[in-house]
Amino acid sequence: MSLKWYNKKWVAVVLHIAAWTLLFSLPFILRPNYGDNSHRPKEETVGIISYLINDLIYVSFFYFNALFLIPSFIYKRKYNQYSLIIVVCFGTILLFTWFLFFSVLGQSKFNIRGHLLFNFFFFLFILAGSTAYRMIKDRTRADRVAREKENENLKTELSLLRSQASPHFMFNVLNNMVALARKKSDLLEPALLKFSLLMRYMLYETDEDKVPLEKEIEYLQSYIDLQQLRFGKNVAIEVNMQNNDVNYEIEPMLLIPFVENAFKHGTGMIEEAHIGIDLKTENGILIFVVKNKYNHASIEIKDKTSGIGLNNVKRRLNLLYGDKQKLQITKKDNWFTVSLNLNLH
């Protein structure tokens, strides 16, 4: 997986250099101009060199604390050792800056109190910045790893949920084939062709994250045709599926459990069995309604062996669409109705 540009190492290096350059340029940018200092070029040059050396010391301490001290001591709860090392570092910086003041600048007067106060507060500033930098960096990395792990778990769960639907569907279709073969029906050959198309879709198309809605509709229609061949006139089936925009996409095998459920519970010991399937798209919203008559006595028996379908699709809808979907399931007057509104954008 390619990193976004702001996560690349060279971007981080450039940002660090820019931040340090801005920080240590502030005294030169903000200092007042008292006139021409050209009569002291040597002193100015020596002072700038000393200032740059001092800056390099603090930059070194910043990364020494962030990259070594915090992971080696703070994260391992060695607070006493860490505190001692920080005190030693501060003392070393004081001695080195004092040495620069006398050896490089050649100054004889030295304000110990001012030197101590300035370096103390600047040292605390660098220490706090270094600690915050390390903490934020580690927290950002931990959050990124957690997101990647969550995404991988999500993909794994979705693959598992999708794979659960496929065997269930295959068992139903194969049962259809057995019924047609027993009847020695001439419809067996076209049924096998439709079944081969369905298998091709399941094997090659469902590996994609999304498929064109048109293909999913064709898949549903083929399944419905197979069921019509099986039940004939014993079940009244009304189908109206319209896709007004061929550019819509949807997760594969998402709608089939509703149709499977309708045939599972809407056939058998039911008088005047009737199944209705409606699908349409309006302004990027998929409106999918499946309804079937059901028998209270038979549905309880079937539910004991068919816990995959609706629970599966509910879980997938929540994982994939969250609040961009609305699923309603109602039972009224011996009609079982599933209504799904899905935002396809």
Rounded alpha-carbon distances, angstroms, from residue 34 to 65, 73, 97, 229: 38, 47, 26, 98
Nearest to 252 by CA among 311, 186, 313: 313
Confidence band for 274, pLDDT divided at 50, 70 and 90: very high
| 158-343 CATH, one of 3.40.50.300, 3.40.50.1980, 2.40.240.20, 3.30.565.10 | 3.30.565.10
pLDDT the model gives residue 201: 78
Instruction: List, in order, residues 6 or more apart from 292 with CB less than 8 Å away.
Output: 262, 263, 265, 266, 273, 274, 275, 276, 335, 336
pLDDT the model gives residue 195: 82
Over 90: is that where the pLDDT of 207 sits?
A: no
pLDDT the model gives residue 306: 46
Could you write out the DSSP letters of every residue in 290-301? EEEE--HHHHHH
Over 60: is that where the pLDDT of 257 sits?
A: yes
pLDDT the model gives residue 307: 43
Q: What is the mean predicted confidence (pLDDT) over 213-227?
A: 88
> What's the mean per-residue pLDDT of the chain?
79
| Rounded Cα–Cα distance for residues 21 and 38 (Å) | 25
| Rounded Cα–Cα distance for residues 256 and 314 (Å) | 12
| Rounded Cα–Cα distance for residues 336 and 310 (Å) | 13
pLDDT the model gives residue 39: 47
User: What's the predicted TM-score (pTM) here?
Assistant: 0.55
**Cβ atoms within 10 A of the Cβ of 317, count?**
18
Confidence band for 153, pLDDT divided at 50, 70 and 90: low
Name the amino acid, one letter, at 260: E
Name the amino acid, one letter, at 96: F
Sign of CA dihedral 180, 181, 184, 185: positive
Rounded alpha-carbon distances, angstroms, from residue 75 to 82, 133, 138: 10, 14, 11
Sign of CA dihedral 209, 339, 224, 313: positive
pLDDT, tens digit, 9 for 90 and up, residues 277-324: 999 998 889 999 999 988 766 554 454 444 456 777 787 788 788 888
Over 50: is that where the pLDDT of 2 sits?
A: no
pLDDT, tens digit, 9 for 90 and up, residues 78-120: 999 999 999 999 999 888 877 776 665 555 565 667 678 878 8
Of the given ranges (47-51, 232-236, 264-268), which has the lowest mean pLDDT?
47-51
Q: What is the mean predicted confidence (pLDDT) over 24-35?
A: 64
Q: What is the mean predicted confidence (pLDDT) over 333-337?
A: 89
